[in-house]
Structure 1
Amino acid sequence: MPADAASPDLLTLGRRVRHLRTRRGLTLDALGAAVGCGPSLLSLIENGRREPRLSLLRALADALGADVGDLLAPEAPDRRSALEIALERAQRGPLFDALGLPVVKPSQRLPMPVLEQLVGLHTELTRREEAAIATPEEARRANTELRLERQKRDNYFPEIEVVAEQMITQAGYSGVGAVTHRTVARLAGTLGFEILYVQDLPRSARTVTDLKNGRIYLPQASTPGGHGLRSLALQAVAHRVLGHERPRTYGEFLRQRVEITYFAAACLMPRTAAVDFLQARKREKDLAVEDFRDAFGVTHEAAAMRLTNLATAHLGMPLHFLRVGDDGVLFRGYSNDGMPFPQDVSGAIEGQLVCRKWAARAAFERRDRATEYYQYTDTPAGTFWGSVQMGSASADTPGFGVGAFSITVGVPYAHAKWFRGRDTRLRRVSTCPDPTCCQRPPAALADRWAANAWPSARIHQQVLAALPRGAFPGVEDADLYAFLDRHAPQGEG
């Protein structure tokens, strides 16, 4: 009988039969003759691989001087039997199959200390395997801890700033304008890496680094000259520059992602040039994310996030950043200015609904989504000014979600005077998290539709499943190693 959901009960039943048989000094042949069946069938029953018919079960109970209830008891008859059952179960699971090791039969000849050690090892392997799987709740907690840490330090990493600016300058950056692909390639070359663009990158990987042959593989760009490939190359390099080792936990994986993204941004928008640009615009009271974006040839989101690194440390102003989907869900956020982000009981903000009256959602109401949207929002924590740029993402676009999204950079009212768009007359009042603000429908509509509405809700599958496991979550080793083997220099595969 194949192992299935009933196997644990059959294992216990089998061990109870074996325990009673050996206690009475019966061989398999002798017991088989007493109950009218062959010894091979009895062996399968004792090993939990065959379920006996009720008539045979009664015959076994009679022959062994026991009741049927004794045979069906859920407890193992003794310590050794419990260990044998545990070893059998461990060796029938997918974790053991993945190890590719030979099966150890828990026979009576197996010494008790060896049996205890094997069961102990399997128990520890299972514990570590389960600990390696990050549930969505664990991931949110790890992300929240990291966000609060970044908030405490104003999202500024001076040690990464220094090394990034030194390396990009040594690679040939002049301090003016955008960092070129050639400059990024030179930087990688100083570390012994060549950048190659391929069409068959594993779907589960953004980049692949061949440490043996000094190669960084990137996807081929759909838009030549895009910021994305320069950032991906710099992120791959950052692991080496920052001395990263293989992540041992999901929290460590997230921390490394934050650090390599920071390094890439600090290379593409080097601190000295970026701060000079921003300070000049502040003096003119004409700060704008779109100008910062265009000056360094990056995406609007990258420029907005980079502003969170530099604004507090070098411009003396707190601020907040949001990326919000067209359904109002907050995908990513940062704040050190007191903007009251929605959050769950664990403190996580990702996946929470943003107030409909915030600029980040109000911008979706416009027909013209190409230009910046400016708005003041009165909240229980004070008045904030926000600048919003719209965008869209497809299934092939790196980032969060599919469809339209908004990128918001905002500051408290007192700091709005430094930004373009401060003269907007658009102003809304938000009292969230008070449900009467925007969550609770008007009483008249509720009375009319509450008993007559039955929507088909969209299920977010990632909420139900554990996150991909492994040192690099979601990356399939089989695809990764096959890719590296295909592209390795001849004779190196």
Structure 2
Amino acid sequence: MTASGIELATLGHRIRHHRLESGMTLDELGAQVGVAGSHLSLIENGKREPKLSLLQEIARATGVELADLLSTEPPNRRAALEIELERAQASTVFRRLGVTPVKVSKAMSDDTLESILGLHRELHRREREAIATPEEARRANTELRLHMRERNNYLPEIERLAEKQLKSAGHVSGALTHRTVSLMAEQLGFELIYVTDLPHSARSVTDIQNGRIYLPPASIPGGHGLRSMALQAMGHRMLGHQPPTSYADFLQQRLEINYYAACCLMPETNAVAFLQQAKKDRNLAVEDFRDAFGVTHEAAGMRMTNLLTHHLGIPLHFLRVDGTGAISRVYENDDLPLPMDVTGSVEGQMVCRKFLARSAFEEQNRTTEHYQYTDTPAGSFWCSTQTGSTSSGEFSVTVGVPFDDAKWFRGRETQKRAVSTCPDETCCRRPPTDAAARWDGKAWPSARVHMQMFSPLPSGKFPGVDATEVYAFLDRHAEG
């Protein structure tokens, strides 16, 4: 017989229970079965696994069936409490605390054990709620980014699933319409409902019980926003997602629903045909791809990272950078040098001032794409950048490739060129020597503090969502 540690604990408790029921001490039972009392003590405490022949002798001596000893059920409530506590104190969650485990004694009351177990249960509940420290969140995000880099940001299973759903809804070509998205929802058993009172913490809410997907009434220009949000909500159902069990699981699910929405808005078959023709014409451009499928510039650029390497053999990079120069979204498989912290995280880091992703904010004409070649320690890269703005500020979207692949893209004739030596601090992070000499020790700027520095990371069953607000919303609409 081979038993796990917990099974041995249950077995030990059952032996002790039947020994005490028979009115025997350890030594007295040991004498009857031919082993020392100390040996039996180890067995009763789950520290040693007994041979089957010894178990048969113990069963005979205590007057019970062997099956009674081997039952997986604790013999009584006290034993169940002690076994649960042993399991809890052996868990990684508890051991990470560095707290000395409680040693259970006969004098310890059941109520005391219940109280201690209540704390353990709450500890595990909070762990399951996907609470993450900033370091854990960055690490999980970095691991996911590197994993997707290895796969060239391409997920064939989701590509096939999206094409199947589009075909079933009758979509053939062109921009995906709101009507087709509604048909796709109906095929899943859901109705799209547009409301003005969505919870502030949720982009959409899916009422699984009543088959409803609630969305906001207004969309960003071009209609991409509502279609994408509806498709993302459907993606959870299509991909069989369960409530996330960790922050890494939450990030993986978010990536997958975004990927599913992109596959529906820019279907692989049609998108690849479009990109292959553009490459043949040496006229690849994010803005053309964007307009062909009626999506945002950012969505088109990100979708190119899914398809260009896998189908056209072109490595590339994608950057979304805010007005301060901080990277908010990134993908690269072309070895573009990017800033990163000690955990390997890129998001939140300041991009080089020489990169077009940052210098484009200084351009007078913001309505068109800008192009640039940038020489770096890892080689030369070409890129195109488009700037935009939201209620939260300016941003830029950049798609770039190694120098040798620029020949396939519109804008390759640009004469604009820059040199970046980052991460060397003399490139752009250290002020010029003459300016430092004039002002060092003679100025005191007041920093603009980003309030998100003090915000706790999203937690809860669905990180970042106020469950009370969501359930109140669902009650309100269920009544209507």
- Assess same fold via TM > 0.5: yes
Question: Is 1:376–1:426's contact at 8 Å kept on the other side of the alignment?
Answer: yes
Q: CA deviation at 1:138?
A: 1.4
Number of residue pairs the alignment of both structures matches: 373
Opposite residue 306 of structure 1, the aligned amino acid is R
For 1:333-344, list aligned pairs within 5 A: 333-344=330-341
Q: Indicate whether 1:200 and 2:209 are aligned.
A: no
Question: Is 1:376–1:386's contact at 8 Å kept on the other side of the alignment?
Answer: yes
Q: Indicate whether 1:296 and 2:293 are aligned.
A: yes
Please state whether the residue corresponding to 1:349 is helix, strand or coil. Answer: coil
Q: Distance in 2 between matches of 1:410 and 1:125?
A: 48
Question: Is 2:219–2:225's contact at 8 Å kept on the other side of the alignment?
Answer: no
Choose which of 363, 367, 377 in structure 2 pairs with 1:380: 377
- Which residue in the other structure is 1:426 paired with? 416
Q: Indicate whether 1:217 and 2:183 are aligned.
A: no
Q: CA deviation at 1:122?
A: 1.0
- Which residue in the other structure is 1:134 paired with? 132
Q: Alpha carbons of 1:237 and 1:120: their partners in 2 closer, same or farther (altered >3 Å)?
A: same
Please state whether the residue corresponding to 2:375 is helix, strand or coil. Answer: strand
Q: CA deviation at 1:461?
A: 2.7
Q: Indicate whether 1:349 and 2:339 are aligned.
A: no
CA deviation profile, 1:56-115 (whole Å, cap 9, x unmatched): xxxxxxxxxxxxxxxxxxxxxxxxxxxxxxxxxxxxxxxxxxxxxxxxxxxxxx962330
Question: Is 1:392–1:404's contact at 8 Å kept on the other side of the alignment?
Answer: yes
Q: Indicate whether 1:454 and 2:444 are aligned.
A: yes
Q: Distance in 1 between matches of 2:153 and 2:116?
A: 47
Choose which of 270, 280, 289 in structure 2 pairs with 1:273: 270
CA deviation profile, 1:231-266 (whole Å, cap 9, x unmatched): 000000000000000001111111000000000000
Please state whether the residue corresponding to 1:385 is helix, strand or coil. Answer: strand
Q: Distance in 1 between matches of 2:459 and 2:479?
A: 30
Q: Distance in 1 between matches of 2:176 and 2:233?
A: 17
Q: Alpha carbons of 1:192 and 1:333: their partners in 2 closer, same or farther (altered >3 Å)?
A: same
Opposite residue 433 of structure 1, the aligned amino acid is P
Q: Indicate whether 1:245 and 2:242 are aligned.
A: yes
Question: Is 1:133–1:466's contact at 8 Å kept on the other side of the alignment?
Answer: no
- Which residue in the other structure is 1:162 paired with? 160
Opposite residue 376 of structure 2, the aligned amino acid is T
For 1:300-311, list aligned pairs within 5 A: 300-311=297-308
State percent identity of aligned pairs: 62
Q: Indicate whether 1:473 and 2:463 are aligned.
A: yes
Q: Distance in 1 between matches of 2:116 and 2:168?
A: 56
CA deviation profile, 1:201-252 (whole Å, cap 9, x unmatched): 0000000000011000000115575110000000000000000000011111
Question: Is 1:136–1:465's contact at 8 Å kept on the other side of the alignment?
Answer: no
Choose which of 411, 415, 419 in structure 1 pairs with 2:405: 415
- Which residue in the other structure is 1:331 paired with? 328
- Which residue in the other structure is 1:45 paired with? none
Please state whether the residue corresponding to 1:488 is helix, strand or coil. Answer: helix
CA deviation profile, 1:303-334 (whole Å, cap 9, x unmatched): 00000000001111000000001111011100
Question: Is 1:136–1:463's contact at 8 Å kept on the other side of the alignment?
Answer: no
Question: Is 2:222–2:296's contact at 8 Å kept on the other side of the alignment?
Answer: no
Q: Indicate whether 1:404 and 2:394 are aligned.
A: yes
Q: Indicate whether 1:321 and 2:311 are aligned.
A: no
For the aligned residue pairs, the C-alpha RMSD in angstroms reads 1.5
- Which residue in the other structure is 1:181 paired with? 178
Question: Is 1:285–1:418's contact at 8 Å kept on the other side of the alignment?
Answer: yes
Please state whether the residue corresponding to 1:356 is helix, strand or coil. Answer: coil
Q: Distance in 1 between matches of 2:302 and 2:281?
A: 22
Please state whether the residue corresponding to 2:262 is helix, strand or coil. Answer: helix
Q: Indicate whether 1:229 and 2:219 are aligned.
A: no
Q: Distance in 2 between matches of 1:334 and 1:178?
A: 25
Could you tell me which runs of 5 or more consecutive residues in structure 1 were left unpaired when the two chains were aligned: 1-109, 395-401
Q: Distance in 2 between matches of 1:354 and 1:258?
A: 23
Q: Alpha carbons of 1:222 and 1:306: their partners in 2 closer, same or farther (altered >3 Å)?
A: closer
Question: Is 2:190–2:213's contact at 8 Å kept on the other side of the alignment?
Answer: yes
CA deviation profile, 1:323-368 (whole Å, cap 9, x unmatched): 0011110111000000011100000001100000011112112111
* Alignment TM-score, normalising by the size of structure 2: 0.76
Question: Is 1:151–1:335's contact at 8 Å kept on the other side of the alignment?
Answer: yes
Opposite residue 170 of structure 1, the aligned amino acid is S
Question: Is 2:222–2:294's contact at 8 Å kept on the other side of the alignment?
Answer: no
Q: Distance in 2 between matches of 1:169 and 1:224?
A: 26
- Which residue in the other structure is 2:149 paired with? 151
Question: Is 1:376–1:428's contact at 8 Å kept on the other side of the alignment?
Answer: yes
Q: Distance in 2 between matches of 1:145 and 1:378?
A: 28
Could you tell me which runs of 5 or more consecutive residues in structure 2 were left unpaired when the two chains were aligned: 1-106
Q: CA deviation at 1:463?
A: 2.5
- Which residue in the other structure is 1:262 paired with? 259
- Which residue in the other structure is 2:25 paired with? none
Q: Alpha carbons of 1:463 and 1:283: their partners in 2 closer, same or farther (altered >3 Å)?
A: same
Q: CA deviation at 1:480?
A: 0.5
Question: Is 1:193–1:215's contact at 8 Å kept on the other side of the alignment?
Answer: yes
* Alignment TM-score, normalising by the size of structure 1: 0.74
Opposite residue 262 of structure 2, the aligned amino acid is A
Opposite residue 240 of structure 1, the aligned amino acid is R
Q: Distance in 1 between matches of 2:475 and 2:110?
A: 44
Opposite residue 160 of structure 2, the aligned amino acid is V
Q: CA deviation at 1:139?
A: 1.0
Q: Distance in 2 between matches of 1:338 and 1:426?
A: 21
Q: Distance in 1 between matches of 2:315 and 2:294?
A: 25
Q: Distance in 1 between matches of 2:302 and 2:264?
A: 14
Q: CA deviation at 1:169?
A: 1.7
Opposite residue 415 of structure 1, the aligned amino acid is D
